[in-house]
Chains A and B, each alone.
Chain A
Amino acid sequence: MSSNQWLATGNFFTAYKQEQRTFFTHLDRSVFSLFLALLLIWPMVFPLSNKYMLVIDSTLIAIVAVMGLNLVTGFAGLISIGHAAFVGVGAYTVAALCRVLGDSHGLVTHFWPIVILAGGLVGAVFGAVVGLPALRLKHLYLAIATLSFQMIFEWTINFMTFFNQGQTIFVGRVFWFTGKVMRREHYQFWYYVTLVVIILSGFGIRNLMKTRYGRCLIAVRDNDRAADAMGMHPGFTKVYAFALAGFMAGMAGALHAYLYRGVGFESFTLHHSISYLAMAIVGGLGTLNGSFWGPVAIQFLELQVEHFSGFAGEYLPSSMNLATALRPLTFGLVIVLFLMFEPRGIANWWRIVKSYTKKWPFRY
């Protein structure tokens, strides 16, 4: 341990090893452990109804997906308008297994961690293939390439009889050591599974960003010619970024398939791709904790909008569906306002609060 355990006044690292630690101070570690314990314990103390648990679970799954999007768009600076399609690839990996083997085959129900990883790997392969244009293209062209992947994905799912033409494909209930996970504990079970996935991949990404494989992403984002001169291969780095994003998205998709116990086409449309992007932007592009804030904020907003339109809908003619109108409206407003006034997202607020409390009562 270094002598400076509070790390408030400056950078006193004397060895690279110190800089690479996950937690810089004891305070960091204890706050994080407390927070983690809280996340693990609360569902047992305050059991929520399945309805709210589902909302929380899908927020967590969105966090997994947005972590991937943040890798490719935030850290590597490549715009991906097809992220929901990668999530869909993961989900349809599970669905394809269910179609081939039957929806309660032992592989799907007993070896689900392997299936989730497999979903991630298939997502990574698709990510790398879609990222191939990155060898030649930049910026807008790349964004449009991912857009076309989204469109091709939607068409493939919609017109292939193997995928039930976009109709729901059922996925069986999984088994845990204690036996089959039944309806009562289903949502809590997947809460814990997703939480574990988030924690593992959060640590993974945090450590990745301290190695050359993570830093090359940032180098290529900041200046790809300089990165080239430093001996990195910008093209391959971009393909690799897409593969990483595809991996995270694929895992999110597989989790989605298990949580909803079915895979339908309507969860992976262009609209969802855009909302993943919105989550990443609202959270803060290029920051790890932004991937947590963004989905939570957007999900919260969506709940409020639904609540409000349910309340206001009573005073309006029933032909008008207020929720369908208000959802894109608030959503777009949030994206535009954040980009115009706080392009660094909620993560920046967190940073401001942190530095304020550190320096209090002094201003700087």
Chain B
Amino acid sequence: MSYFFQIVVSGIVVGSIYALAALGLVLVYKSSRVANFAHGQLIAAGAFIAYALTVWAKIPVFFSFIISMGATFFLAMSVEKIFLRRLIGEPIISVIMVTIGLASILDGLIYLTPFGSENFSFPAFLPHTPLSYGGVSISWTQLVGVIVTMVLIGGFSWFFKKSTVGISMRAVSDDQFAAMSVGISVQTVFGLAWATAGLSAAAAGCIIGNITGLNFDTLHAFGVVVFPVVILGGLDSILGAVVAGIIMGLIQQFASGYLDGNWGLNGTGEVMPYVILLIILLFKPHGLFGIHEIERV
């Protein structure tokens, strides 16, 4: 039984990170209808900036996390300004391909640094002994990671529910013309959506980096695996991203905990999200909480 609970705990840990990573994707899609295929690279960039600041510039860990979040905030904002603003109104394939191209460019830039080929790990700043209760154990990094994630997600939802900027972002996602007519600058909102996405990506990157270590492949794989998460939750729902993130984490951990090694299966955790994704696309394409756009083809 403790095996079961152990899997539940690690599923929640992984799932909350997925939720945070998916949040950025949902933010961008919600406001500007762009699916950002470069999100994994933003996550990786955030983590690497934080590492460089902590280890090479010797800035205290928490400050460097905050600085890296600020840096990716501006990175994502400038990406939107330079590349995506020109493509407003272009067919969706151009927009998707531009984000894929951006992913490729960021890949190349990261490969130019040592982070592309080597593995690093953050210096430990939390106690090593894991917390355990009744045979279920969770390390301090994981616990702190989950708590920080939850706080951040809470912060983001407060931001969208209550703050003026958040409300204007929701207004733009609802109806761009109506938003313009009440004096909201749609372009600023697009930029801000990307910027907040970058910020949440950096936060996710720092937490992943602390839990699993800094490996470029792992980090940018998150950019692909968030797609099943956002589709399950509904592409334009923040609540959906959180719920689906945790569901996906649990599914993944249960798959690798119970299916691997039986019936000659292996590595099912990696493929399960995509199988679920295909099933959802076939039967409930708008996800758990997404808006149903009724359209027959």
Contact = CB atoms under 8 A, between A and B. Distances in A.
Contacts, number: 148
A331 B111 CA distance: 14
Nearest to A149: B278
Given A133-B278, A135-B297, A155-B267, A335 B92 contact: no
A198 B104 CA distance: 29
Interface string B68-109: 000000000000000100110011111011101111111111
Interface stretch (A136-144, A211-219, A287-295, A350-358): A136-144
A329 B281 contact: no
A238 B297 CA distance: 10
A324 B116 contact: yes
A137 B109 contact: no
B282 A147 contact: no
A39 interface: no
A148 B108 CA distance: 24
Contact of B111 (A140, A270, A328): A328
Given A77-B93, A155-B271, A321-B117, A336 B102 contact: yes
A285 interface: yes
Range, interface on chain B: 35 or more
B265 to A, nearest CB: 7
B264 interface: yes
A235 B224 contact: no
Contacts of B265: 159
B156 interface: no
A339 B277 contact: no
Contacts of B282: 132-133, 136
Interface of A: 73, 77, 79, 81, 132-141, 143-145, 147-149, 151-152, 155-156, 158-159, 161, 224, 228, 234-235, 238, 270, 274, 277-278, 281, 285, 319-321, 324-336, 339-340, 343
Interface of B: 35, 83, 86-87, 90-94, 96-98, 100-109, 111-112, 114, 116-117, 224, 227-228, 231, 235, 264-267, 270-271, 274-275, 277-278, 281-282, 285, 295, 297
Given A138-B297, A340-B87, 11 more contacts: A77-B93, A133-B285, A144-B35, A144-B231, A145-B277, A152-B274, A278-B97, A332-B100, A332-B107, A339-B98, A340-B83
